[in-house]
Structure 1
Amino acid sequence: MTDALRRRETTLGNPGPHPNPRRPSLRLPPGATDAHCHVFGPAEVFPYAPGRTFTPVDAPREEVTARQRFLGLERAVVVQSAGHGADHRALLDALRADPANRRGVALLGPELGRTEVQTLHAAGVCGARLHFLPHLGANPEPDHTRMVVDTVVELGWHAEIHVQGTGIVDHAELIAAIPTPVVIDHMARIDLREGLHGPAVGSLLRLLDQGNVWVKISGVDRLSRTGPPYDDAVALGALLVERFPERVVWGTDYPHVNIAGPAPDDGLLVDLIERMAPSETHRERLLVTNPAELFGF
């Protein structure tokens, strides 16, 4: 990839995180967990995947941790990004720097052998992610999906599913058949032009009714059709917390790659938690109890 193309990709959809977020007014409970963040690079130490579909701005673990501390978050789940592909060195570095307060989610490429998977497990990886988004590459082949699910079941991990639009409907049968805990990223990135009574929301609710499916109340800026303060997406988050308080978690999605427009204010995202989880009891579950159960803190 040429430097010119890298600069163009960084400008279009990867602007870097908000440079000066406000300090949240909402005080988070002790043990509050960022259930979805990424580490990127630094590229000179941890190069990006040669076949990647985007190039992020560097967000090394020290920067990610500093932003989380500023927001009042103590624990974090670091999700491997397609920007690094199946090269987990940056993820492993982040987990080993704070093993008590960090867990990880891997991308299990076909080239990863048994030894590499065991290394990830020993370092604190507790889940594997499957992408069904065209901008991140082709959907996984059925054989690869089966391999990932088999590995997740064997190791006692969760399966993390990343879909958008009608994806939660299109892949509902696959999700329903996974016999281990399943986590739906970013409220399934549902198209909110359908409102809260469309088929995608219905499909998500039916899956959550199964009892082994969880959902991340994150990415309100990605779902919203109205912009800050993201009222339409916050309404969906509030519905999910009210209906399934025992199987919701929340994350910053820091540093917000592959977005349209500037990155959201992370302080605002924290303050919106209060609108989605208005009681202290709900916030304790969302930020502390549920992630401790799901990720093994």
Structure 2
Amino acid sequence: MTGVPQKPCPPADPAPRKPKFAMPANACDSHAHIFGPDEKYPWSPARGYTPPDALPAAYEHLHKMLGVTRGVITQPSVYGTDNRATLDYVAAHPGRLRAVVSVDASITDRALEAMHARGARGIRVNLADPGGNPFKSFSELRRVAERLKPLGWHIEFLLHVHDADMAELGTLPVPISIGHFGYMPTSLGIDHPRYRGFLDRVADGNCWVKLTGPYRITAGRHLPYDDTVPFAHALVARQPDRILWGTDWPHPMCPIPMPNDGTLADMLLDWVPDKAVRQRILVDNPAELYGF
């Protein structure tokens, strides 16, 4: 027992079905996590949940069923700044996997370069979950960001855009990425002033957004999450060259019934009806950001 409140965290559906459409060659799942085994990769005592194992073999099976060939493993908050589970897997598949890691202000340039050699292409700053933010101040983060520039890295944020200072984030010297559509409940509406400001930041061209985790923002309980469609359309309309897609597998902290990943992937047909734009979101955009 750690003393940290532990929220329920069900496993992903172990039998993903094939989507209704064919993924293009070199399609990329730009957001997923690897968990466990905990005897090899122990949890952070500051974590806000304890997930079941989500191991590379299951992730490989998911990609086989979806028709995805590239992936980005994003460091989850449950590991803090211990990136071994993420990097051990990614480093074994340099041609098709990349990593987004978590570091603190004490990280050395040599350590960053070593992570780059193992497939890291950015750092994650989690402002939404317990134990996810290792930085004491924005100025501390900015100093690290300056050191990321020579590597061509970006900073990925997990935050709620309706509570965030997007103008401040826009002053960072490297590109930024935002997960889960901006992580604002759809019930607040597409015309929420902070969301309009977020869309403006996306239009500036230095902010990438992931179409991930729709179950985190929907007001519904089952697929299809129709209320997410206007948000996807608004983001794509603002800057299609800065939109990414990912599974968010194994869907940690899914607050509603666990979706099947094939059915979840089918949402792309509603979010991005244009096949040519889907090609950009699934292949070209992640290739640019992650250096495939």
Superposition TM-score tier, normalisation by shorter sequence: over 0.9
Partners of 1:259 and 1:82 lie apart in 2 by 15
**Number of residue-to-residue matches in the alignment:** 290
Partners of 1:200 and 1:72 lie apart in 2 by 36
Alignment of 1:155-194 (within 5 A): 155-164=151-160, 166-167=162-163, 170-194=164-188
Moved more, 201-210 or 17-26: 17-26
Q: CA deviation at 1:73?
A: 0.7
| One-letter amino acid matched to 1:177 | T
**Equivalent residue in structure 2 for 1:213, among 207, 213, 223:** 207
| One-letter amino acid matched to 2:148 | V
| One-letter amino acid matched to 2:74 | V
Deviations 1:136-182, CA, capped at 9 Å, x for gaps = 45683214322332232232101111112623xx3212211012211
Name the structure where helix makes up a greater proportion of residues.
1
Report if the CA contact (8 A) 1:38-1:81 is conserved: yes
Query: Is the partner of 1:197 in helix, strand or coil?
Result: coil
Partners of 1:248 and 1:172 lie apart in 2 by 17
Change in 2 beyond 3 A, CA 1:180/1:137: closer
Q: Which runs of 5+ in 1 are unaligned?
A: none
Partners of 1:117 and 1:275 lie apart in 2 by 39
Number of the residue aligned with 1:284: 279
Partners of 1:77 and 1:139 lie apart in 2 by 21
Report if the CA contact (8 A) 1:40-1:58 is conserved: yes
Alignment of 1:92-103 (within 5 A): 92-103=87-98
Query: Is the partner of 2:147 in helix, strand or coil?
Result: helix
Moved more, 216-225 or 230-239: 230-239
The sequence identity of aligned pairs, in percent, is: 34
Number of the residue aligned with 1:200: 194
Moved more, 271-280 or 254-263: 254-263
Partners of 2:240 and 2:46 lie apart in 1 by 39
Deviations 1:38-75, CA, capped at 9 Å, x for gaps = 11111122222233222111112222122122111100
Partners of 1:31 and 1:284 lie apart in 2 by 10
Number of the residue aligned with 1:15: 10
Number of the residue aligned with 1:108: 103
Moved more, 141-150 or 199-208: 141-150
Partners of 1:171 and 1:60 lie apart in 2 by 35
**Do residues 274 (structure 1) and 276 (structure 2) align?**
no
Q: Which runs of 5+ in 2 are unaligned?
A: none
Partners of 1:204 and 1:230 lie apart in 2 by 21
